[in-house]
Amino acid sequence: MTENTDSQLPVILIGAMTRDRVIGQDDHMPWDIPEEYQTFVDSIRGQTVIMGRKSYEIFGADLTSEHTVVISRSRPSLGVLVVSSIEAALEQARSYRKQIFIAGGAQIYRLGLPHADRMYLSEIKKEYDGDSYFPEFDLAEWEITREEDHSKFIYRQWRRKR
Ligand SMILES: NC(=O)c1ccc[n+]([C@@H]2O[C@H](COP(=O)([O-])OP(=O)(O)OC[C@H]3O[C@@H](n4cnc5c(N)ncnc54)[C@H](OP(=O)(O)O)[C@@H]3O)[C@@H](O)[C@H]2O)c1
C-alpha cells in the first residue's frame, strides 16, 4: 500500500453513494441533490482532480478544479491531461502542490482507494438501483472526523487511521 506522507498533499476520495454503495446507473448519478453536488463543487475548487475517462465525459464541464488529470488506456486526447495509470496520475497531481481529489467513477475509486488518506463521502438516504458501486473499505482502517446530517444525505469525512 502506498502511504502519502506529505500532509500538505492528502489524497482524498470524494463522492456520493447510497447505503448499498450505488454511485451510478446508465452513466449518470441516479439522484439530483443540488446541495450534495455543491459539497463536491466547493471541495474541489482550485484543487486537483483525478477522474476516470467515463466520469470526465459526464462531469468534466462542471469541474471547478484548477488541475484535472484523466485516466484512460485508449483516449490520449480529450483536451485535458490524460495518463494511463493511477500511479502516473498521482505523480502528476503531486507536482501541482494542491489537494488531490480522486472523483470516480467505480473503476478509479477502486484503483485510488489504496492510495487514499481521506474520504469525503455523502450517503444518500433514499435507495436507488445502480450499476456502478463504490468499493468496500475496511471500517477498522478508517475513522470519521466530521459528520453532518442533511435532509437527503449524510456527509462524512473519513481519515485513514495511522
Ligand atoms: N456518485 C458519485 O459520486 C460518482 C462520481 C463519479 C462517477 N460516478 C458514476 O460512476 C459511473 C462511471 O464509473 P465507471 O467505473 O464506469 O467509469 P470511470 O471509473 O469514470 O472510468 C473508467 C475508464 O477509466 C479508464 N481506466 C480504468 N481503469 C484503468 C487502468 N487501470 N488504467 C488506465 N485506464 C483505466 C478507462 O478509460 P478508457 O476506456 O478511455 O481506456 C475506463 O473506461 C457513472 O455512472 C457515473 O455517474 C458517480
pLDDT in tens, 92-120: 999 999 999 999 999 999 999 999 999 99
Question: Would you state the pLDDT for residue 129?
Answer: 97
How far apart (Å, rounded) are the C-alpha atoms in residues 10 and 24?
26
Residue 64 confidence (pLDDT) = 94
Asked whether residue 3 carries a pLDDT value surpassing 60, the answer given is no
Residue nearest to atom 44 of ligand 1 (CA): 27
Nearest CA to ligand 1 atom 32: 85
Give the position, in ligand 1's atom list, of the atom nearest the Cα of 55. 20
pLDDT above 90: residue 62: no
> Which residues lie with the beta carbon below 6 Å from any ligand 1 atom?
15-17, 23-24, 27-29, 52-55, 58, 71-75, 84-85, 103-108, 111, 132
Please report the pLDDT score of residue 61 as a whole number.
84
What residue segments make up the domains of the chain, in order of their start? 11-160
Task: Report which secondary-structure segment, H or E, holds 39.
Answer: helix 34-44
Class at the top of the CATH hierarchy for domain 11-160? alpha beta
